């Protein structure tokens, strides 16, 4: 991560830093105490920089695309150090169509999450509008599911909210929503199934005439 990169460059620059310190000590032999204080401050600053976490507790850590019957897109996020998978049943989402979203706890998650919901943020001429979406929790497991309706195409932000021991937090997922489909989903499925069926029926009829 970022810490390893910083350590690498500090290691590469270490000989030059030592030479510079030796030169300063020779040129300013009379100000030994001041140099010691400055050196101590530099070392402390570097240590603090290296110890500061480079990963936020509200971040997207991993994304992947599904195959076959898997969800086409899912994100591994953490909401205040609670790790969750967020799966989208349609990706990218389509405008003016509801997209099913499934949220469930990571295998290594031990905290009991009381509630999960979504908040969709999108800009308008009068400012940002927030649409709150409820997610059902069937079976009492650490799994929630529900639909999110994206009102238009373009950049939008979906916030995944959690409630753990009366502490509410969220993590944002930026989403670029596609334009609406030309046909409704059910009609597209119907056309997709009828087209090959009609072709097979046509050639079956032709073969019967030839016979």
pTM above 0.85, yes or no: no
Span of 42-46, 56-60, 87-91, 137-141 with lowest mean pLDDT: 42-46
The secondary structure of the chain as a DSSP string is -HHHHHHHHHHHHHHHHHHHHHHHHHHTGGGHHHHHHHHHHHHHHHHHHHHS-SS-SEEEEEEE---TTS-SEEEEEEETTEEEEEEESSSSPBTTSEEEEEEEE-TT--S---EEEEEEEEEETTEEEEEEEE-B-GGGSSEEEEEEE--SSEEEEEEEEEEETTEEEEEEEEEEEBPPPSS-HHHHHHHHHHHHHHHHHHHHHHHHHH-
Q: State the chain's mean pLDDT as an integer.
A: 78
State the pLDDT at residue 120.
96
What pLDDT does 135 receive? 96
Of 32 and 210, the one with more pLDDT: 210
Tell whether the model's pLDDT for residue 201 goes beyond 90.
Answer: no
Arithmetic mean of pLDDT, 104-123 = 90
- Residue 180 pLDDT level (bands cut at 50, 70, 90): confident
Q: What is the mean pLDDT of residues 34-50?
A: 52
Per-residue pLDDT for 185 more than 70?
no
Q: What confidence score (pLDDT) does residue 44 get?
A: 53
Q: Given pLDDT bands bounded at 50, 70 and 90, which one contains residue 45?
A: low
- pLDDT confidence of residue 13: 57
Average pLDDT over residues 114-143: 91
Q: Across the strands, what pairs with 174?
A: 157
Q: pLDDT per residue over 11-20, tens digit each?
A: 565 566 556 5
């Amino acid at each position: 991560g970022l810490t390893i990169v910083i350590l690498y460059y500090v290691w590469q620059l270490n000989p030059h830093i030592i030479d510079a310190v030796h030169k300063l000590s020779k040129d300013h032999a009379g100000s030994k105490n001041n140099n010691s204080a400055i050196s101590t401050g530099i070392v402390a600053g570097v240590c603090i920089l290296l110890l500061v976490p480079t990963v936020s507790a509200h971040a997207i850590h991993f994304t992947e695309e599904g195959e076959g019957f898997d969800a086409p897109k899912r994100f591994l996020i953490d909401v205040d150090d609670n790790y969750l998978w967020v799966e989208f049943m349609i990706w990218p989402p389509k405008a003016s169509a509801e997209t099913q979203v499934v949220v469930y706890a990571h295998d290594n998650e031990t905290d009991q999450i009381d509630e999960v919901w979504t908040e969709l943020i999108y800009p308008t001429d009068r400012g940002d509008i927030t649409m709150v979406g409820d997610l059902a929790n069937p079976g009492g497991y650490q799994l929630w599911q529900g639909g999110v309706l994206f009102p238009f195409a373009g950049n939008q932000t979906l916030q995944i909210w959690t409630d753990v021991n009366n502490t509410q937090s969220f993590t944002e997922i930026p989403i670029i929503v596609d334009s609406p489909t030309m046909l409704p989903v059910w009609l597209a499925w119907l056309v997709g199934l009828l087209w090959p069926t009609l072709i097979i029926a046509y050639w079956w009829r032709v073969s019967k005439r030839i016979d």
